[in-house]
Structure 1
Amino acid sequence: MSKLENFKELNGDFYDPATKGFKDGTPLSIDYNQMINPFTTNNHMSIEEARERAYAYVVKDDGIDLLKAASGSNEFKKIDVKPSKNPDGTEKKDAMGFTIYESVDCL
């Protein structure tokens, strides 16, 4: 419960019940939307998978893990992504300047 309270305190009124997503212009919305294109372009993900990955990434910094079970399974596992790194430790970027991410699921 303390993590939820901390998340709400840090992010304020972030949820839009009409769209069932982040309110436009909030920090979570901005981070989320900046990740969709790199996931679909660099990782060749469907828009649905890109949205799932973006949600998982933007809420994990606040201590919230997104879990998923395979169809027909009751075993939930963590969905995670992280920025890909160059040998010098900097984040890899695509030609548009977007960070390239890699999946690091616990599936």
Structure 2
Amino acid sequence: MKLGIILSQTEPETVFNALRLANYALKQGDSVKIFLMGKGVALDQIDDARFAVREQAQAVLAAGGQFLACGTCLKLRASEGSEICPLSTLKDLYEVVRDSDRVLSF
């Protein structure tokens, strides 16, 4: 299965659970693309002792998952992106939606 996840928030518990799902899907042999938009482009800045968001994000990358981050949303936050939040476009979001078997939004 091709799983697309659209993440538009930075609430640690919700982001942590979305990434846990992504990692589980990757372990099942599925492909996963996560598009970050709105507040979600600040995923790499989440720091919460109860929820290992960065660890889960790195595990997604290590397992072959892909992150994409809305370039407009990054620019609004004066950010150029990062490994976890690479600068992407509306076209990339469209392709995630178009090419995924299932799309979830958090």
Mark the structure with the bigger radius of gyration: 1
Q: TM-score normalised to the size of structure 1?
A: 0.26
The structure with the largest strand share of the pair is: 2
Which structure: greater helix fraction? 2
